[in-house]
């Protein structure tokens, strides 16, 4: 008996990389899988003639599993609804949604265009909303369901030239927590996962300096398939009490991230003025202000 026997799961962006690994692992655990993938470039343009989604479906079926392909865009509300309907039509139910589909438009902020920003928000943040909202009525009716949303250390910690991506990924954290709060009463869970993996999404990182080259060589050790077991566990009944959390997976390391809470406070009976804030509050908080770390500054060790 697999942990996902009898369940059906939608995995978006499942034609390659992290999503492919998750789809295959879900099927291996017994789930029927809707494999969604547009088959486009990392910027969201163009389309492959040979569908990556169909290839993954064939892998699953060849191993004795159940799967169907879907080629809709998560950024399209009607398309997201069709993904969920594909699961209900083919398998009679839907039990999990893994929001993995993504794109990149990396540009330093003062050169970023509205189109660069909007294109990434539409896929990551709006896409996660669209598929999650499409599945919500089914989850509510059956009194169960699990969402897994992909966030990123680029938002949780920081990175250069990714204001659009970071904003979307932090928006997903808020979305996940809100879903967890709103749908807990219906037995529905929602969690966010920050994956570390070497995929075509990060294959475009510059390697112009020795430091950049060393970082990329470290990133190449990050196996995209290592994210899958955690996502399967989160969607299974074994995680019935796990919701509203932020996790990270980095090869064989699993992290539980903190969430924003006050760490220092300042008060005065007289009320504050701009001058007294400058004189007292900023110095008082100085030792606890967060430095401008990037993800690579914090996660400096080789993956385990």
Q: In three state form, how does the secondary structure of 39-53 look?
A: CCCCCCCCCCCCCHH
pTM of the model: 0.93
Percent of the chain past pLDDT 70, that is, above it, reads 90
Q: Where are the domains of the chain?
A: 8-259
Reduced to 3 states, what is the DSSP secondary structure of residue 98? strand
Residue 25 CB contacts under 8 Å (≥ 6 apart), including other chains: 225, 228, 229, 231, 232
User: Nearest 5 degrees, angle CA 84-CA 87-CA 90?
Assistant: 145
- What is the side-by-side order of every strand in the sheet holding 96-99? 67-70, 32-36, 8-11, 96-99, 145-150, 188-196, 246-250, 253-256
Residue 263 has pLDDT above 60, yes or no: yes
> Which pLDDT tens digit goes with each residue over 139-176?
999 999 999 999 999 999 999 999 999 999 999 999 99
CB 157 within 8 A of CB 298: yes
Percent of the chain past pLDDT 90, that is, above it, reads 85
Residue 16 CB contacts under 8 Å (≥ 6 apart), including other chains: 37, 52, 199, 200
Q: Which of 147, 165, 255, 290 is catalytic?
A: 165
Active site residue 165: yes
Distance, CA of 168 to CA of 176 (rounded, Å): 12
Bridge partners of residue 249, in order along the sequence: 195, 254
> Which pLDDT tens digit goes with each residue over 16-73?
999 999 999 999 999 999 999 998 656 556 555 459 999 999 999 999 999 999 999 9
Q: How far is CA 224 from the centre of its chain?
A: 13
Instruction: From 233, 260, 257, select the one nearest 98 (Cα to Cα).
Output: 233
Range 8-259 classified under CATH 3.40.50.300: no
Tokens representing residue 289 in the block? 């202000």
Distance, CA of 124 to CA of 108 (rounded, Å): 19
pLDDT of 233: 98
> Which pLDDT tens digit goes with each residue over 218-249?
677 899 999 999 999 999 999 999 999 999 99
């Amino acid at each position: 008996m697999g942990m996902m026997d009898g369940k059906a799961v939608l995995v978006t962006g499942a034609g390659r990389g992290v999503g492919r690994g998750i789809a295959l692992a879900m099927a291996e655990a017994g789930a029927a899988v809707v494999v969604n993938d547009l088959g486009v470039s990392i910027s969201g343009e163009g389309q492959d003639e040979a569908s990556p989604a169909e290839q993954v479906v064939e892998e699953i079926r060849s191993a004795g599993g159940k799967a169907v392909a879907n080629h809709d865009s998560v950024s399209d509300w009607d398309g997201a609804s069709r993904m969920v309907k594909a699961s209900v039509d083919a398998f009679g139910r839907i039990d999990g949604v893994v929001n993995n589909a993504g794109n990149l438009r990396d540009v330093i902020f003062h050169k970023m265009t509205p189109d660069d920003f909007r294109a990434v928000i539409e896929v990551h943040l709006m896409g996660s909303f669209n598929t999650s909202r499409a599945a919500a009525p089914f989850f509510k009716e059956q009194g169960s369901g699990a969402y897994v949303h992909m966030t990123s250390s680029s938002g949780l910690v920081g990175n250069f030239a990714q204001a659009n991506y970071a904003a979307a990924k932090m928006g997903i954290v808020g979305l996940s927590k809100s879903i967890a709060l709103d749908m807990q009463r219906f037995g529905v869970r929602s969690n966010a996962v920050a994956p570390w993996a070497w995929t075509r999404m990060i294959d475009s990182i510059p390697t112009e300096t020795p430091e950049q080259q060393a970082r990329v060589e470290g990133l190449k050790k990050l196996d995209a398939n290592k994210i899958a077991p955690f996502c399967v566990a989160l969607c299974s009944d074994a995680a019935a009490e796990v919701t509203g959390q932020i996790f990270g997976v980095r090869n064989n390391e699993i992290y539980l991230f903190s969430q924003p809470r006050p760490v220092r406070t300042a008060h005065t009976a007289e009320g504050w003025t701009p001058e007294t804030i400058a004189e007292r509050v900023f110095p008082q908080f100085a030792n606890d202000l967060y430095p401008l770390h990037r993800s690579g500054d914090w996660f400096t060790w080789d993956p385990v």
